[in-house]
Chains A and B, each alone.
Chain A
Amino acid sequence: MSRRYLLTRAGEALVTLFGVSVVVFLVLRVVPGDEITARLGTDASSLSPTQLASLQAYYGLDKPLVVQLFSWLGNVVTGNLGVSVTSGASVSSLIGDALPVTLELAFLALVIGLTLGISIGVFSARGRDTVRDSAGQAFGLLGLATPNFVLASGIIAVLSTQFGYFPSAGSYVRFFDSPLENLQQEIWPALVLGIALAATIMRTTRSAYLEVAQQDFVRTARGKGLPERRVRWRHILKNALIPIVTITGIQFGYLLGGTVIVEQMFGLPGLGRLVLTAIEQREYAVVQSTVLIIAAAFVLVNMLVDFLYTRIDPRVRFS
């Protein structure tokens, strides 16, 4: 990878992030209501024009949109993500609290998804059109078709009625404070996300595996007398990895921003919930900055995936 390539990618990433921030900024202002109506509800209509003007000045809503956009962006560039008006906390501290929760959740879900997805995918592909293939495919379909909230409700109901246990009864515990307690809280929501992820990965793995398995070099490898296991893992799976890594990268990106429902049901104070409450309260700074961070993570994961391609397949080069 040349330096020129890296610079181009970084430039593209910046343009993407700028685009995202403008879109989020505009969408937030196009939907009806602002921080004032969100806070005062029906009482907002009883404000006198002077009260309204002073509140608008307080929330910075009196300035032209372009000024609002660039003053926010200018602050972001200097590392100031803004302040939450309701709680008075800085947005960076809010994200600092919420990001690790979601990151860990996404990472655990990824581990579960990859382990289950790849093993069931290979298992299914090797017995193509047999009973075990059908079983594997059924898992895939069921995993894709079951909405997160159904699986989450099911797990919560079984745990609480059968085992007298609710995973998030206590306050959230950070991993470095007590790894075991932290895992108890994160593992169940991660399982819910992981199963859905496993279904997608399983289907990709199965089709990629089947495709590679028919190629000449596999026959050659077998002809050389290599043990079947070596053929399976080192030859077929390794060459089937590119689509698997691609789909995993995309899904991981979604996990960073899209764990809202699971966070709600398990009571985890993650990024999804931060954005959701902020949208309800029309906390512009919080929504804009958090979405920007999520988008940046997405871009980063994509770059990582591209980099992984060159590791998996030396034929892939970027210049």
Chain B
Amino acid sequence: MAQITLFFLFFKIGLFAIGGGLATLPFFFQLADGEGWFDREMIGNMLAVGQSLPGAIGPNVSAYAGLLHSGIASSYLAALGLVAPSIIIILIVARMLERFRQSSLVTTLFSGFRPAAAGLLSAACLGTLALSLWNSAAPEWYSFIRWKEAAIFAVIFLLIVKFKKHPIVYVAAAAAVGVVLKL
């Protein structure tokens, strides 16, 4: 019974979190305050683990929360609860889209959606970059940019453009560089 409640708790989060995995965060703070099987501090840990392992952050963090709740079975249930609304909604939307794909209304809508999505993605990209390369706490103006990180970024980007290997290759190499240089 408790497991079914758990599933629907995460189903609700999946249903109302619109946007990236981080959009689920406010819901986790609510859970911490209301349910109390983990506290706000633990969320930091859960997030760190969820981000450092492969996969989407939302399901990873939910799995962690489920594990803290009552073990491995609950862990899978929590993650499945979180993704279930996505699956249902997207299956419906995909069908509607197939039907109306050719209508000029939908085509026109998408001619607005595409540049907007590209803009959002660019902003997300710049945000990630700023996180790694920008140091707003720097004492001197010339150290606002983390030069070492910026140099690594430039090298990786050039390698991506030149060699077009699978992303995991660059991720693994960058992880190794991070460990060696103690970034």
Q: Do A and B come from one complex?
A: no
Taking Cβ atoms with an 8 Å cutoff, the residues of A that contact B are none
